[in-house]
Amino acid sequence: MLTQEQAVEIKVLKQRGAEIREIARELGCLRDTIRRYSLELIAQQYSPRLVRSAKLDSYKNYLLKRIEAARPQVDPRYCFGRSRSGHPGGLMQLKEFLSTQR
């Protein structure tokens, strides 16, 4: 598999009219590899990552209610202790969530 830099170089050389043999010789690759990359079957851009659910997701409604009840100051350790009965995540995950809610 070629690097992204080599894939871009293949595209540039192909646009300039270079033949597959010339590109393969210059980059030290097989002609089939150059063909595949020039057809963009392999050299596609990365797709966005899927959003994974966090351990905290099922407890967010409860935490939002606790935040509203504890306004203006919310102590993450207090929320962590209250949600610990069923929350499998850690304190840092809870702190990050609370920092976005302030």
What's the confidence (pLDDT) of residue 32?
A: 92
Number of domains forming the structure of the chain:
2
Low-confidence ranges of the chain (pLDDT < 70): 41-47, 72-89, 102
User: 95 and 63 in one domain?
Assistant: yes
Which residues neighbour 59 within 8 Å (Cβ) at sequence distance 6 or greater? Answer: 83, 86, 87
State the pTM of this model: 0.41
Q: Which domain holds residue 81?
A: 57-101
Is 24 a domain residue? yes
**Count of C-beta atoms within a 10 Å radius of residue 97:** 20
**67 in a domain, yes or no?**
yes
Q: Six-digit token pair at 83?
A: 């949600």
